[in-house]
Structure 1
Amino acid sequence: MATALLCVGCTEDKPREPDPTTKPSPTATVPSMPNEAEANTVDGAIAFVEHYVELLNYSSDTGDVAALSDATDAECAGCDSYVSLYKSTYASGGYFRDPGWSITRIDPDIQNKSLLVFVSVTSHGGTFREKSGSEVQKSRDEKYNLIFTPTLHDGQWKVSRFVRETGK
């Protein structure tokens, strides 16, 4: 599963080797939870989902998945696939170097008594390496539709469901 996620957007172009002294983390600090995300409202859930996307970007940049894991329900398989991908990639000497996902649209909806937050993102191309010594690969610009189900756990939002669809 991690390999499938990793290779989405791959091209056959062989980018030049990045400077090994360059750090892969343009975001040096863990994103802070915005005050708006503390509200038990639809607006609070939306602010939390925006924060969750920032945590995904941070974890991709750094391999530090602690805050992302804390914001994730233990039963969220889609979330876990990203946590596992970032953790295993950095643990094996790999990395991701890209600007991350940019939110272009966000829409809440209630379906079957559950709040869903539909998010459209743009992913700008970059480079990645699966593990130390592996070939550097290039990713291209992509658009994705994401579906999040934020739920409250002891007064704190967590993502309990996360699905990514490739945009057209």
Structure 2
Amino acid sequence: MTFRNQPTQALLACLTTTTLLTACTPNPKAGHPNTAPPPSTSTGAPASTPIVPTSQPSSPPTPSAPPDRPAAANGLTLAAADKFIRYYSELLNYASATGDTAPMLSSSEAGCENCKSYAKFVQQANASNGLLQGDYLERVTDIPELYRGENGRLGGSATVAIGAYTSKQSAGASPINLKAAKYTREFALSAQGGNWVMYEMKLVKQ
């Protein structure tokens, strides 16, 4: 699902209210739902049965430090927003790899519920503690839409690809085998200190 032709009414509503979570994110864990087994009550997601893969997929190297914000992502232009979304994806990957969520949370609004939900999950299960293995890194392949709303916020969507990987909720839990898939990240940004930060986000499987 993309939004190249026209923005969704829900995201436009988000940009005109301080309650984006209510308008845009009915599932508080939708910021990155593929990092955990799909809940049985989730709509649009098939029930998942734990599967022990015959061979463990290889994981990328664990980064030694968080990525630096590129100069092109500074400021409040549309071009800066495009670069920020790609940078924020790198922050999510860093958090998934290490369990260190401070960098991504520092680039998020304090009230971003899906940001906090994502952080809570990867603090518990990440590649560093062995509960996340395989090609779990997300890759932003396109940002087809950016648009300005009221209150100085900006909305849009990005196409995200994630490889095949396994996820476990605890060391003793059975691993969940997840296939490679593409997603659409709907997001809203707000201004903080002269730069964009993540106001709220939602990931939807294509």
TM-score exceeds 0.5? yes
| Distance change in 2, residues 1:33/1:112 (3 Å) | closer
- TM-score w.r.t. the length of structure 2 is 0.69
Structure 2 unpaired stretches of 5+? 1-27, 39-44
Kept in 2, the 8 Å contact 1:24–1:95? The answer is no
1:1-168 equivalence runs, <5 A = 5=33, 6-8=36-38, 12-16=50-54, 25-90=61-126, 95-99=131-135, 100-110=137-147, 112-113=149-150, 114-167=153-206
Partners of 2:189 and 2:132 in 1: CA distance = 26
Shift of 1:11: 5.7
TM-score by length of 1: 0.83
**Which structure has the highest strand share of the two?**
1
| Secondary structure of the corresponding residue to residue 7 of structure 1 | coil
- Deviation string 1:101-121 (CA, Å, 9 cap, x unpaired) is 111211333254341131011
CA distance in 1, matches of 2:51, 2:175: 10
Runs of 4+ residues deviating >6 angstroms: none
- What amino acid sits opposite 2:82 in the alignment? I
Residues 30 and 42 of structure 1: is their aligned pair in 2 closer, same or farther, counting only changes over 3 Å?
same
Task: Answer whether contact 1:25 1:62 (CA < 8 A) is retained.
Answer: no
Change in 2 beyond 3 A, CA 1:130/1:16: farther
Which ranges in structure 1 are unaligned for 5 or more consecutive residues?
A: none
Contact 2:101–2:123 (Cα < 8 Å) also in 1: yes
- Aligned-pair RMSD on alpha carbons? 2.6
Between Structure 1 and Structure 2, how many residues are aligned?
Answer: 162
* Percent pairwise identity: 23
